[in-house]
């Protein structure tokens, strides 16, 4: 059965990937035009931070950054470069945009994937328990817990975690992704990253946790009353089997939808947590590039993330189809 | 990201209490240096490049000054002391300045440092690109290099301010062999500097840290004591506080910690404070008026506003006492030229109301006279709070203030390019000499739309222009002092800009961090003489 689906998936991928190109170009165009509306440019900010400037110097900078050209010409160069997959150069950071993004990407992925996995896994478990014990003590406790976790501002939770675990107890490092005072390799390095990632990932997970728990709980409750569950019961299936194989499998679909959507926010969703924990991720890079009007970099990040979102959407569609055979690609 | 204002206010109250009970702040001077160890430092913001010769941003200087060096450096009283220059003399007419350069100094790539490097940097970088340097070296006509270790500047007019300025931040020397014939602004060495300083640039992981390592061939024998320096970039203010408390960071430079958190570091057995590191910058926080605005074009309105703001209270509430009330455009730390003998504006609401009445802006039945917009950038909490303070103060004399707090880039555009503002609140470095840092605010020729930190109030006073231009080339120190005094008196009478507070730049460190001597330009100290005492 699986084998027979592979050509279908390939055909689907081919069709969808063709659709990606115009979508991404459209996004690039929109990004560029919207950013034109922001007052001030990268030279203003550089000169402002320097505390002094001369008009000649500012003009020289604008000329060397290509900012003295009319907007249509800038747009033309931007689209041309984008079409050739050249993300350009960040004059503020003195580095190619792609290099800046790729340097930050691993940190973002580590943080987001860990946080999402923790949130999805615990959301799944808590949601199932909630649904099984609906309106009983366990359900109520879980509801209150996830609600509080959701309502607490993540930056505050992060700060409090730092104060407790780093400043008071000294168990975990408060900032960064690795211990930069020593050179580590292999397993030691992984352990070090894990130690640094623990607080930020858990902090970030609390935000997503509530949504996943509630989603699973609601979907499961709906299915518990459905005809096919009654049929399964009539067949004599055990409650565990009904919960895990009949109801949960179906309840995974809305979870996948949500995961797909939130994976899209992978680049921007963690700005606060990245700031509090000095995590060298892409969210902060994007945020700082907005403040600095470093539009080459910002456009690069936006484009990069739009590509990622479209690709992830395609993946989610494929996963849908494998979870639910009724869905056709 | 910042804590909500309410929370900060709560902390303020606690900090004021702590301040009034704290004794004189401890300093960081020590004897018997212990070699070894890596110093962990946090600064407010990650720099954009590492070349102070191009951008005068503080954060760049705070890091680059460990790698790059200037001809001179400054002691605790801002008197010049030798660095790359061993000796200097100013000709009797003030029109020549000669420097003897240190011998057998090497760049970090092994090449010799000579007068050719200084000549190149002066002509191509300080005079052409450096934003303050263009003014500081404007009078330099020609340069003579009699031998590789001496350089003589010939000036068209005396430049008495030069020796107050040319340290590693104001005029860092760049290696000619790496910059000559290149696009200097985009030279790759701007982000991996090669200098002559005590520390060698090792790596820069964007968003994380910059690593510097000890220069074993440094010209000061036996120094540096530290094996290296790690600058860590912690974007969140509260996280910077925790990093110092947990020992992950040893020194927090340039007011990187919010004033509201300083109460947590009052334990003198664990932490030391340094409040003179930024004297060289001579910063003043101010409110500037747009003289093109109908009401503010009237001197009496500006004076009325000055009388309505209690700057003592502002200093206590917003700056928590860390600083002084400003009395004029030249800060008190510039002792040579500072004078308090100018028109002062103590809190006097009656006088303010009277001045507004005279100007023809009578209060209506509800006590209102007119409205003004007040703009400040959202990136600095204390400016936002200063703006709120001014809004409350002016309400008492019937001026209704509308606060506008956009992001930094928008603020710069609105104030300096569009002039679309009535009052703005910010701070400016006045530099060790008024000609360098103060003249630009009032000079008619510096009314330049589109350029940040120029004369954006549109204030123009030909008499003052003449005095400032004369002071810029006056070789006689006594006459120059008199000119600068008159200058201060004129602007305090006209108040195109309302000077509010002289904030101090605070360095908080573990007591283990020591230096052989304090410096008035300590933010830009090379830290060759710094060490970390062993843990007790």
pLDDT tens digits for A38-71? 888 999 998 888 888 888 888 888 888 888 889 8
Q: Is the pLDDT of residue B507 over 90?
A: yes
Tell me which chain B residue has its CA closest to the CA of residue A294: B409
In a domain? residue B511:
yes
Q: Is the pLDDT of residue B13 over 60?
A: no
Using DSSP bridges, classify how beta strands B370-375 and B423-429 pair: parallel, antiparallel or unpaired: parallel
Top-confidence residue, B216 or A15: B216
Range of the domain at B108: 69-182
Query: Which pLDDT belongs to residue B227?
Result: 96
What would you measure as the largest C-alpha separation in chain B, in angstroms?
Answer: 78
CB contact under 8 A, A44 and B440: no
In a domain? residue B437:
yes
Please, which residues have CB within 8 angstroms of residue B429's CB and are 6 or more apart in sequence?
A51, A52, B281, B282, B283, B437
Please say which residue of B135, B151, B182 terminates a domain: B182
B233 in the same domain as B152:
no
Measured between beta carbons, the chain A residues lying within 8 angstroms of B230 are: 180-181
Residues 186-215 of chain B with CB under 8 A from chain A are: 186, 188, 190-191, 205-209, 211
Measured between beta carbons, the chain A residues lying within 8 angstroms of B409 are: 38-41, 44-45, 48, 291-293
**Closest Cα of chain B to A192: distance in Å?**
15
Share of chain A above pLDDT 90, in %: 7
pLDDT tens, residue by residue, B182-201: 989 889 999 999 999 999 99
Tell me which chain B residue has its CA closest to the CA of residue A153: B3
**Closest Cα of chain A to B231: distance in Å?**
10
For testing the chain B interface, which of A49, A153, A192 should be mutated: the one with the most B CBs within 10 Å?
A49
Instruction: With CA atoms as reference, report the closest residue to B525 among B277, B215, B257.
Output: B277
Please say which residue of B129, B152, B182 terminates a domain: B182
B334 in the same domain as B424:
yes
Q: What is the mean pLDDT of residues B59-68?
A: 96
In a domain? residue B3:
no
Q: Is the pLDDT of residue A12 over 80?
A: yes
Q: What is the mean pLDDT of residues B295-319?
A: 96
Share of chain A above pLDDT 70, in %: 96
Q: Is the pLDDT of residue B473 over 80?
A: yes
Average pLDDT, chain B: 91
In a domain? residue B18:
no
B360 in the same domain as B215:
no
Query: Which pLDDT belongs to residue B375?
Result: 97
CATH classification of the domain holding B306: 3.10.105.10
Q: What is the mean pLDDT of residues B264-276?
A: 90
Residues 143-172 of chain B with CB under 8 A from chain A are: none
Q: Is the pLDDT of residue B438 over 90?
A: yes
One DSSP character per residue, B189-216 reads GGSS---SSSEEEEEEETTTEEEEEE-T
Residues 417-456 of chain B with CB under 8 A from chain A are: 417, 428-429, 440, 448, 450-453
B117 in the same domain as B212:
no
Q: How far apart are CA B484 and CA B341, in angstroms?
A: 12
B404 in the same domain as B522:
no
Nearest Cβ partner for B236 among A93, A276, A290:
A276
Please, which residues have CB within 8 angstroms of residue A21's CB and are 6 or more apart in sequence?
none
CB contact under 8 A, B131 and A46: no
Measured between beta carbons, the chain A residues lying within 8 angstroms of B414 are: 39
Top-confidence residue, B305 or A203: B305
In a domain? residue B241:
yes
Query: What's the sign of the alpha-carbon dihedral B6, A145, A169, A159?
Result: negative
Q: What is the mean pLDDT of residues B284-301?
A: 96
Query: Which pLDDT belongs to residue B21?
Result: 35
Strand partners, A137: none
B220 in the same domain as B168:
no
Q: Is the pLDDT of residue A13 over 70?
A: yes
B389 in the same domain as B360:
yes
B127–chain A Cβ distance below 8 A for any pair? no
Residues 245-284 of chain B with CB under 8 A from chain A are: 245-246, 248
Tell me which chain B residue has its CA closest to the CA of residue A102: B206
Please say which residue of B182, B199, B219 terminates a domain: B182
B439 in the same domain as B343:
yes
In a domain? residue B16:
no
B404 in the same domain as B516:
no
Report long-range pairs for A88-92 (Cβ below 8 Å, ≥24 apart).
Answer: A88/A296, A88/A299, A88/A300, A89/A296, A90/A289, A90/A294, A90/A296, A90/A297, A90/A300, A91/A42, A91/A61, A91/A64, A91/A65, A91/A294, A91/A296, A91/B186, A92/A42, A92/A45, A92/A46, A92/A289, A92/A292, A92/A294, A92/A297, A92/B48
Q: What is the mean pLDDT of residues B258-278?
A: 90
For testing the chain B interface, which of A41, A51, A282 should be mutated: the one with the most B CBs within 10 Å?
A51
Tell me which chain B residue has its CA closest to the CA of residue A45: B409
Q: What is the mean pLDDT of residues B79-93?
A: 93
In a domain? residue B200:
yes
pLDDT tens, residue by residue, B102-114: 999 999 999 999 9
| Coil, helix or strand at residue B435 | helix
Q: What is the mean pLDDT of residues B212-234?
A: 95
Average pLDDT, chain A: 85
B335 in the same domain as B214:
no
Query: Which pLDDT belongs to residue B5?
Result: 42
Q: What is the mean pLDDT of residues A118-127?
A: 91
Give, in order, the Cα–Cα distances in Å from B413 to each of A54, A63, A163, B380, B410.
15, 18, 39, 17, 5
What's the domain count of chain B? 3
A298–chain B Cβ distance below 8 A for any pair? no
B422 in the same domain as B297:
yes
């Amino acid at each position: 059965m699986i084998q027979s689906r592979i050509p279908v998936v390939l055909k689907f991928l081919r069709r969808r990937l063709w659709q990606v190109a115009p979508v991404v170009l459209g996004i690039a165009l929109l990004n560029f035009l919207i950013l034109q509306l922001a007052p001030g440019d990268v030279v203003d900010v550089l000169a402002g931070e320097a505390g002094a400037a001369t008009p000649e110097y500012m003009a020289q900078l604008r000329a060397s950054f290509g900012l003295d050209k009319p907007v249509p010409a800038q747009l033309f160069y931007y689209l041309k470069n984008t079409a050739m997959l050249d993300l350009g150069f960040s004059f503020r950071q003195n580095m190619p945009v792609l290099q800046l993004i790729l340097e930050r990407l691993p940190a973002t992925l580590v943080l987001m994937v860990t946080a999402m996995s923790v949130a999805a896994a615990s959301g799944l478990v808590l949601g199932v328990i909630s649904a099984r014990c609906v309106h009983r003590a366990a359900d109520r406790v879980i509801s209150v817990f996830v609600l509080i976790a959701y309502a607490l501002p993540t930056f505050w939770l992060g700060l409090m975690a730092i104060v407790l675990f780093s400043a008071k107890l000294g168990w975990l490092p408060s900032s960064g992704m690795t211990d930069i005072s020593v050179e580590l390799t292999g397993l030691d390095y992984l352990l070090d990253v894990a130690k640094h990632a623990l607080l930020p990932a858990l902090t970030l997970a609390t935000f997503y946790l509530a949504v996943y728990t509630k989603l699973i709980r609601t979907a499961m409750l709906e299915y518990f009353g459905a005809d096919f569950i009654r049929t399964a019961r009539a067949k004599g299936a055990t409650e565990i089997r009904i919960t895990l194989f009949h109801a949960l499998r179906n309840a995974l679909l809305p979870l996948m939808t949500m995961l797909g959507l939130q994976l899209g926010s992978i680049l921007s969703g963690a700005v606060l947590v990245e700031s509090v924990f000095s995590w060298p991720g892409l969210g902060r890079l994007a945020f700082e590039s907005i403040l600095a009007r470093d539009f080459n970099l910002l456009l690069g990040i936006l484009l990069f993330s739009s590509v990622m979102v479209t690709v992830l959407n395609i993946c989610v569609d494929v996963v849908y189809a494998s979870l639910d055979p009724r869905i056709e690609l | 990201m910042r804590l909500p204002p309410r929370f900060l206010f709560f902390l303020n109250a606690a900090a004021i209490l702590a301040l009034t009970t704290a004794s004189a702040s401890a300093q960081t001077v020590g004897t018997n240096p212990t070699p070894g160890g890596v110093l962990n430092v946090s600064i407010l913001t990650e720099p954009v490049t590492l070349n102070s010769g191009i951008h005068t941003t503080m954060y760049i200087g705070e890091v680059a000054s460990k790698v790059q060096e200037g001809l001179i450096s400054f002691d605790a009283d801002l008197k010049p002391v030798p660095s790359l220059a061993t000796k200097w003399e100013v000709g009797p007419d003030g029109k020549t300045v000669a420097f003897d350069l240190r011998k057998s100094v090497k760049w970090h790539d092994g090449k010799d440092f000579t007068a050719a490097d200084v000549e190149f940097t002066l002509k191509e970088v300080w005079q052409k690109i450096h934003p303050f340097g263009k003014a500081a070296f404007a009078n330099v006509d020609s340069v003579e290099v009699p031998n590789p270790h001496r350089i003589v500047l010939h000036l068209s007019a005396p430049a008495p301010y030069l020796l107050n300025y040319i340290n590693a931040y104001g005029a860092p020397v760049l290696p000619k062999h790496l910059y000559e014939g290149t696009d200097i602004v985009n030279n790759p060495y701007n982000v991996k500097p090669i200098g002559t300083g005590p520390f060698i640039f090792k790596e820069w992981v964007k968003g994380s840290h910059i690593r510097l390592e000890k220069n074993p061939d440094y010209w000061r024998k036996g120094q540096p004591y530290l094996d290296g320096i790690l600058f860590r970039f912690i974007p969140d203010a509260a996280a910077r506080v925790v990093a110092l408390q947990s020992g992950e960071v040893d020194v927090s430079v340039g007011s990187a910690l919010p004033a509201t958190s300083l109460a947590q570091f009052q334990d003198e057995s664990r932490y030391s404070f340094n409040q003179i590191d930024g004297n060289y910058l001579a910063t003043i926080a101010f409110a500037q008026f747009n003289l093109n605005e109908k009401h503010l074009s009237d001197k009496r309105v500006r004076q009325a506003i000055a009388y309505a703001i209690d700057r003592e209270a502002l200093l206590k509430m917003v700056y928590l006492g860390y600083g002084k009330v400003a009395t004029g455009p030249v800060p008190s730390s510039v002792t040579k030229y500072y004078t308090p003998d100018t028109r002062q504006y103590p809190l006097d609401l009656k006088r303010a109301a009277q001045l507004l009445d005279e100007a023809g802006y009578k209060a209506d039945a509800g006590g209102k006279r007119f409205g003004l917009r007040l703009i400040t950038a959202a990136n600095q909490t204390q400016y936002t709070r200063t703006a709120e303070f001014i809004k409350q103060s002016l309400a008492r004399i019937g001026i209704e203030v509308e606060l506008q707090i956009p992001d930094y880039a928008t603020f710069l555009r609105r104030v300096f390019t569009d002039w679309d503002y009535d009052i703005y609140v910010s701070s400016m470095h006045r530099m060790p000499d008024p000609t360098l840092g103060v003249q630009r605010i009032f000079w008619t020729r510096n009314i330049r739309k589109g350029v940040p930190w120029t004369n954006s109030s549109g204030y123009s006073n030909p008499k003052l222009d003449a005095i400032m231009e004369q002071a810029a080339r006056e070789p006689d120190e006594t006459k120059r002092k008199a000119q600068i005094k008159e200058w201060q008196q004129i602007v305090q009478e006209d108040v195109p800009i309302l000077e509010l507070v002289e904030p101090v730049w605070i360095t908080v460190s573990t007591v283990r961090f020591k230096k052989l001597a304090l410096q008035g330009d300590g933010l830009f100290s090379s830290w060759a003489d710094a060490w970390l005492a062993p843990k007790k």
